[in-house]
Amino acid sequence: MVEPGTGVNTGLPIPRYASLRSNDVNLRVGPGTIYPVEWIYRRRQLPVEIIGESESWRQIRDMDGTTGWLHAASLNGRRTFLVKANEVMLRRRAEPDATPVARLMPGVVGRIVSCPENRPWCEVRAGEYRGFVPRRGIWGVGAIEAVAD
C-alpha cells in the first residue's frame, strides 16, 4: 500500500522538486505520447514541482502554476532554484547584512547546495558565484524542507 503523499511508482514524496534534464522538454496534457504537447521548455535545469505520477510519466507544476506531464527521463533529481519576481542578493554568509557576493536578477537559475530544515537561508551556486540567499526569494524549495547536495 502506498502512503498518502507518496508517488505510486517511485515511493518518493509527492509533491517534490526536480529539474529539467535538457533544453528541449515537451509538456503534455496527459501521461503519454498520445497526448498533445501543450508547451516546450527550453531551459535546462529549470526547477519544477512533481505533483503526480503515472508509470514513467510525472505530472509537474512550474513556478507560474502551469501543470502538465513530462516523461520521467526528462527530469533530473539535482535541486535547482529560480529567482522569483524581485532580485535577490547573494551573500557571503547566511545573514541579511553579510557582504554581498552577487546580485541575482529575476529568472536566474542556479543549484541549491543546501537548505537546512526550517531555516530562512539556503546555500546556492549561480554560475561562478556561491553564497547564501533568503529561501523566500527563490522558487524550487519548500518553505521548511531540508535540502542537501
pTM confidence score: 0.93
pLDDT in tens, the chain (149 residues): 445 588 888 889 999 999 999 999 999 999 999 999 999 999 999 999 999 999 999 999 999 999 999 999 999 999 999 999 899 999 999 999 999 999 999 999 999 999 999 999 999 999 999 999 999 999 999 988 999 97
Q: Is 101 exposed, middle or buried (0-12, 13-18, 19+ CB in 10 A)?
A: middle
Domains and CATH numbers, the chain: 16-78 (2.30.30.40), 81-148 (2.30.30.40)
Q: How far apart are CA 17 and CA 79, in angstroms?
A: 7
Q: How far apart are CA 25 and CA 79, in angstroms?
A: 17
Q: Are the C-beta atoms of residues 46 and 107 closer than 8 Å to each other? A: no
Which of 136, 145, 142 is closest to 96 using CA atoms? 136
